[in-house]
Amino acid sequence: MLAGTPIILLKEGTERAEGKDAQRDNIGAAYAVANSLRTTLGPRGMDKMMVGARGDVVITNDGATILKEMEIQHPAAKILVEVAKTQDLECGDGTKTAVILTGELLHRAEDLLDEKIHPTAITTGYQIAAEEALKVLTALGRPVRREDTEALRAIAMTSMISKGVAAQRETLGRLAVRAVLEVIEERDGKLRFDRKNIQMVKKQGGEVHDTELLEGRILEKEAVHPSMPRRVTPARIALVEAAFEVKKTEYSAEIRITSPDQLDAFRAEEERMLAAMAKAIVASGANVLVCEKGIEDSVAERLAKEGIYAVKQAKREDLEMLAKATGARIVVRAADLAPADVGRAERVEDRQIGEDHLTLITGCEHARSVSLLIRGGTEHVVTEVERCFTDALTTVGIALEDGYVLTGAGATAAELSLRIRTFAANVGGREQMAVLAFADAMDIIPATLAESAGMDKIDALIELRHQHAGGRTDVGVDVLAAKIAEMGAVAVEPIRVSRQAIEGAVAAATLLLRIDAVISAKRSGAGAAPPPGGGPGF
Ligand code: ADP
Ligand code: MG
């Protein structure tokens, strides 16, 4: 008989939380994380200062960065980190919106659970609502094209509004739009944007408004010899991996030289080898050499005499990027170089930025590419500008790819809330409650924006509803002026940001609501940090 004998399915020490407990614990954790982000949303959003274990400090308002730096431990809360990551990857913006929405959907679900509504009815209802929401978004979308520079600039500026360098968003927005328009391509009748075609190089120093857009690619290296040309045009570029040095043996060897003749012969041989390397470059027809390793002085001198511009210790990714952009082939040694391996660009030149010299490669034969040379007083500033650009470039790019934009500032969320509430009447069963909860959850965006502006959240929502009921779909929260206003020209967002935020939030909420048991393996060392240096213990 089995009665009374427990059947052991789990390893000893495994913890198990079930049913309500598991669900409430997950919802609680996810909601706590999402809620902590609310104060950072929008133009008046506050920053978070994150202090790492080693005392390193990151100050930012970027949702994905904040969540990453939080080093969240709770498994359910980690799902929010995934929501933010996906949102960031797909859209470059709307990370906090997506996370806050997820939190709110879960929070509202908790009330429904209290009313004994089954989790399945809730998740089904949420999915029905999300489907309808996507249709509403499509209906609300306004077309945007390459020529609409004003709208594009508004998109870039909207994405930067809450960042630390918001004061410069006019300048940065302009640059971002120009950069996107330079590299966006039409393929099969569709616009395609690849952010990889825009290089970002940070150079601390100067001021943010010194940031510039350069046509071409930047190598953060200067020519190896002072008498090399400052500028080579047209450029024929050779890419070589191995060093232009006589190989030093890796073990110490003793070479016995017994007479001065032998020493001369030894040196002569070394010289001959170095000369052969330089000659191989000349013979290939190249006038620019980019080498992944070192270049010995005597070779540099020879190359300089031949009018060749050479750069040493280049990064592997630079070589690969140049290979793609100029059509060059990366060879291992100089001796392997054939004329067909040499790539082409219009111009290679030295650019002085502050104290430093950079190499600028323009007019690459195979790729339209531009570089943003980011300037700023401190490391924090240039890093924040880089984050801003990442968001602005992506949002402008995807807005053009999809061809549609929506109004931000809570306007679209308020419209969704209204239309989904009306739509709910057509949904039967318990699911209707969830559809209504979804509609209510949308209000969290305008409510949070209103709060951040110091407005009364209830009054703001009432006014918004009133305006939207009157058909004014672009009325939202003007956070900077602390009032409800027409925001269609000010807060402009690609349609994909809202789509992804809704899809991501519903998927994550569904995932968490479907869990009714959490089974955790026994933690070895009860949460102790892994030993420094890592690796398996002995
Ligand atoms: P996210 O990580 O979700 O992008 P942000 O802190 O960037 O978070 O805030 C985005 C919110 O701020 C969006 O709802 C957006 O529409 C809104 N917003 C952007 N510009 C304005 C503006 N000028 N006035 C009011 N709200 C704005
Ligand atoms: Mg944003």
* Model confidence pLDDT, tens digit, residues 332-344: 999 999 999 999 9
Q: Which atom of ligand 1 is nearest to the CA of 162?
A: 6
Å from CA of 42 to ligand 1 middle: 4
Residues 121 and 204 in one domain: no
Q: Whose CA is nearest to atom 27 of ligand 1?
A: 409
Q: Does some domain include residue 529?
A: no
Give pLDDT, residue 488. 95
Residues 76 and 167 in one domain: no
Q: What is the DSSP string of 294-305?
A: -B-HHHHHHHHH
Pairwise CA distance, residues 103 & 98, whole Å: 9
Pairwise CA distance, residues 244 & 261, whole Å: 26
Evaluate whether 122 touches 532 at the Cβ level (below 8 Å): no
Q: Does some domain include residue 526?
A: no
Say which ligand is closest to the CA of 409.
1
Q: How does 461-483 read in b/e, with b if 16+ C-beta sit within 10 Å?
A: bebbbebbeeebbbbbbbbeeee
Å from CA of 470 to ligand 2 middle: 28
Say which ligand is closest to the CA of 99.
1
Task: Tell me the average pLDDT of the chain.
Answer: 88
Say which ligand is closest to the CA of 64.
1
Residues 348 and 424 in one domain: no
Residues 110 and 19 in one domain: yes
Average pLDDT over residues 110-114: 93
Give pLDDT, residue 13. 64
pLDDT digits (tens, 9 = 90+) for 242-257: 998 886 655 666 667 7
Which H or E run contains 86? helix 75-91
| Highest mean pLDDT (candidates 41-45, 89-93, 170-174, 498-502) | 498-502
Q: Does some domain include residue 464?
A: yes
Residue 500, strand partner residues: none
Give pLDDT, residue 352. 86
Residue 49, strand partner residues: 59
CATH number, domain containing residue 380: 3.30.260.10
Å from CA of 423 to ligand 2 middle: 29
Q: Which long-range CB contacts under 8 A does 311-316 form with residues at least 24 apart?
A: 311/219, 311/221, 311/222, 311/223, 311/224, 311/359, 312/221, 312/224, 312/244, 313/221, 314/219, 314/221, 314/290, 316/292
Pairwise CA distance, residues 216 & 364, whole Å: 7
Which CA distances in Å does 362 have to 142, 409, 412, 500?
A: 36, 40, 42, 36
Å from CA of 99 to ligand 2 middle: 12
Q: How many CA atoms lie within 13 A of 503 on its CB side?
A: 13
Give pLDDT, residue 10. 58
Give pLDDT, residue 36. 86
Evaluate whether 243 touches 295 at the Cβ level (below 8 Å): yes
Q: Does some domain include residue 115?
A: yes
Q: Which long-range CB contacts under 8 A does 115-118 form with residues at least 24 apart?
A: 115/433, 117/430, 117/433, 117/434, 118/430
pLDDT digits (tens, 9 = 90+) for 401-456: 999 999 999 999 999 999 999 999 999 899 999 999 999 999 999 999 999 999 99
Residues 424 and 516 in one domain: yes
Overall domain count for the chain: 3
Residues 332 and 229 in one domain: yes
Task: Give the rounded distance of the alpha carbon of 377 from its chain centre.
Answer: 22
Which H or E run contains 134? helix 119-140
Average pLDDT over residues 11-39: 78
Torsional class of 327: left (φ above 0), alpha (ψ -120 to 50), beta (otherwise): left
Pairwise CA distance, residues 373 & 337, whole Å: 32
Place of tokens 């935020």: 501
SS3 of 188, please? coil
Residues 204 and 94 in one domain: no
- Residue 70 sits at the vertex; the CA angle it makes with 68 and 72, to the nearest 5 degrees, is 90
Q: Write out the two tokens for 96.
A: 């906090």
Q: How many CA atoms lie within 13 A of 142 on its CB side?
A: 16
pLDDT beyond 80 at 297? yes
pLDDT beyond 60 at 526? no
What is the pTM (predicted TM-score) of this model?
0.81
Say which ligand is closest to the CA of 448.
1
Residues 346 and 428 in one domain: no
pLDDT beyond 70 at 1? no
Residues 446 and 506 in one domain: yes
Which CA distances in Å does 495 have to 34, 274, 379, 390, 473?
A: 23, 59, 33, 18, 15
Band of pLDDT at residue 147, cut at 50, 70 and 90: very high
CATH number, domain containing residue 416: 1.10.560.10
- What is the domain extent for residue 319? 217-366
Testing ligand 1's pocket by substitution, the residue of 161, 391, 490 carrying the most ligand atoms inside 8 A of its CB is: 161
Residues 6 or more apart whose CB falls under 8 angstroms from that of 64 comprise 84, 85, 87, 88, 95
Q: Which atom of ligand 1 is nearest to the CA of 100?
A: 3
Lowest-pLDDT range of 27-36, 103-112, 488-497, 522-531 = 522-531
Which residues line ligand 1 at a C-beta cut-off of 6 Å?
41-43, 45, 63, 93-97, 158, 161-162, 408-410, 445, 449, 477-480, 490-491, 493
Q: Does some domain include residue 282?
A: yes
Evaluate whether 56 touches 473 at the Cβ level (below 8 Å): no
Pairwise CA distance, residues 45 & 162, whole Å: 6
Q: What's the chain's length in residues?
A: 538
SS3 of 257, please? coil
pLDDT beyond 60 at 535? no
Residue type, 264: D
Residues 172 and 209 in one domain: yes
Q: Does some domain include residue 533?
A: no
Evaluate whether 14 touches 20 at the Cβ level (below 8 Å): no
Q: Does some domain include residue 525?
A: no
Residues measured by CB to lie within 5 Å of ligand 2, the ion: 93
Residue 362, strand partner residues: 347
Q: Whose CA is nearest to atom 10 of ligand 1?
A: 42
Q: What are phi and psi of 384, to 5 degrees?
A: -65, -40
Evaluate whether 369 touches 174 at the Cβ level (below 8 Å): no
Closest C-alpha to 386, from 214, 161, 203, 151: 203
The residue out of 366, 388, 414 marking a domain boundary is 366
Residue type, 484: I
